[in-house]
């Protein structure tokens, strides 16, 4: 490669993810059980998961250089989870082991339609502390984007947000799992990326139409988010941005697929979104890639096993629209 080609070659975006690391126990069911009902599962699989780990692997597959800040237990699951993250290309120098508790565990029930229901045992994820974040401050300050979710303590997320903001690092927050109330500081992000359920929980607005999606996004921006990306399942996403003091909304179409498991579709979306935004793509363009990534993830079983690679996402994006 000559010197000119080297200069033109894109630098890999650097992303830090603060979040959870779980082992997922995935149960395949004809349908999800009703309260008090016992159902027989058709199968059971053990796969690596956790929103933090999923989003880290998703961003690696989109071409980013990713470091994960989190905790696992000092148990067999913890060793397995660390090994699988390393094999996936995720930096784990800032993943600590907690000696006094187990690794995080998620019970994921997936029905024939692809819809799922998840119960989480936080384990070591609940031990990730503001001190851990301060120990990783130099890492956070050096990246293009910080990505976070809410499967670790809120005080820990707040500490990471403060460090990133003071260093002018872009911040993407995925407010999952859903909370009714969040500290005001957690709305002060560059991108707040939620699904409909999370938006409803935060705003009290039932998101069941394009108009209601805009209303909920407007509330979230009024609380401090610079932009809001709300995923709408098979209907794509609602992108809300402020231009010249006014809110502008863009509908981003999804890719039509036969979904079999939506477990990590949102995480695939966020990994792609974080990567393309960090490459200085316009937010609307990044959302188009992200919608395709999320749709492709829903066509495969499991969490990290379902996350698509960049070449597949870009091929499908071009086939779907002719251009990104």
Q: Is 267 one of the catalytic residues?
A: yes
251, 169 contact by CB (below 8 A): no
Question: In this structure, what token pair is assigned to residue 171?
Answer: 């911040």
Beta strands of 204-288 (E only): which ranges? Answer: 227-231, 237-243, 246-252
| C-alpha–C-alpha distance, residues 247 and 245, integer Å | 7
| C-alpha–C-alpha distance, residues 291 and 23, integer Å | 26
15, 148 contact by CB (below 8 A): no
| C-alpha–C-alpha distance, residues 231 and 298, integer Å | 14
Residue 48 backbone dihedrals phi, psi, to 5 degrees: -70, 140
Which residue in 24, 190, 261, 267 is the catalytic one? 267
Burial class (CB in 10 A: 0-12, 13-18, 19+), 30: exposed
SS3 state at 280: coil
| Strands 22-28, 145-148: pairing kind | unpaired
Question: In this structure, what token pair is assigned to residue 144?
Answer: 């293009």
| C-alpha–C-alpha distance, residues 217 and 248, integer Å | 10
| Strands 237-243, 246-252: pairing kind | antiparallel
CA distances from 141 to 124, 130, 161, 166, 299 (A): 25, 15, 11, 8, 36
Task: Characterise 300 by phi-psi region: left (phi > 0), alpha (psi -120 to 50), beta (else).
Answer: beta
Catalytic (active-site) positions: 267
């Amino acid at each position: 490669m000559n010197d000119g080609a080297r200069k033109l070659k894109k630098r890999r975006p650097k992303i830090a993810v603060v979040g959870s690391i779980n082992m997922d126990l995935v149960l395949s069911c004809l349908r999800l059980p009703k309260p008090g009902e016992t159902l027989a599962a058709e199968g059971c699989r053990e796969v690596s998961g956790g929103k933090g780990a999923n989003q880290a692997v998703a961003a690696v597959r989109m071409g980013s250089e990713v470091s994960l800040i989190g905790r696992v237990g000092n148990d067999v699951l913890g060793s397995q989870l660390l090994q699988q993250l390393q094999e996936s290309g995720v930096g784990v120098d800032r993943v600590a082991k907690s000696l006094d508790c187990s690794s995080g565990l998620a019970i994921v029930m997936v029905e024939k339609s692809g819809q799922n229901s998840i119960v989480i045992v936080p384990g070591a994820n609940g031990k990730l502390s503001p001190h851990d974040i301060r120990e990783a401050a130099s890492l956070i300050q050096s990246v293009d984007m910080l990505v976070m979710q809410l499967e670790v303590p809120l005080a820990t997320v707040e500490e990471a947000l403060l460090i990133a903001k003071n260093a002018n690092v872009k911040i993407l927050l995925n407010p999952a799992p859903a909370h009714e109330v969040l500290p005001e500081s957690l709305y002060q992000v560059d991108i707040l990326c939620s699904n409909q359920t999370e938006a409803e929980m935060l705003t009290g607005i039932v998101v069941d139409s394009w108009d209601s999606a805009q209303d909920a996004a407007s509330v979230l921006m009024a609380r401090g988010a610079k932009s809001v990306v709300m995923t709408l399942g098979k209907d794509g996403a609602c992108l809300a941005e402020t231009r010249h003091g006014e809110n502008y909304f863009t509908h981003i179409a999804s890719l039509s697929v036969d979904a079999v498991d939506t477990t990590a579709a949102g995480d695939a979306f966020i990994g792609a979104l974080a990567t393309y935004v960090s490459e200085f793509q316009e937010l609307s363009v990044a959302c188009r890639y992200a919608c395709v990534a999320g749709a492709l993830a829903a066509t495969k079983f499991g969490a990290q096993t379902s996350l698509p690679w960049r070449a597949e996402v870009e091929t499908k994006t071009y086939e779907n629209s002719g251009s990104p």
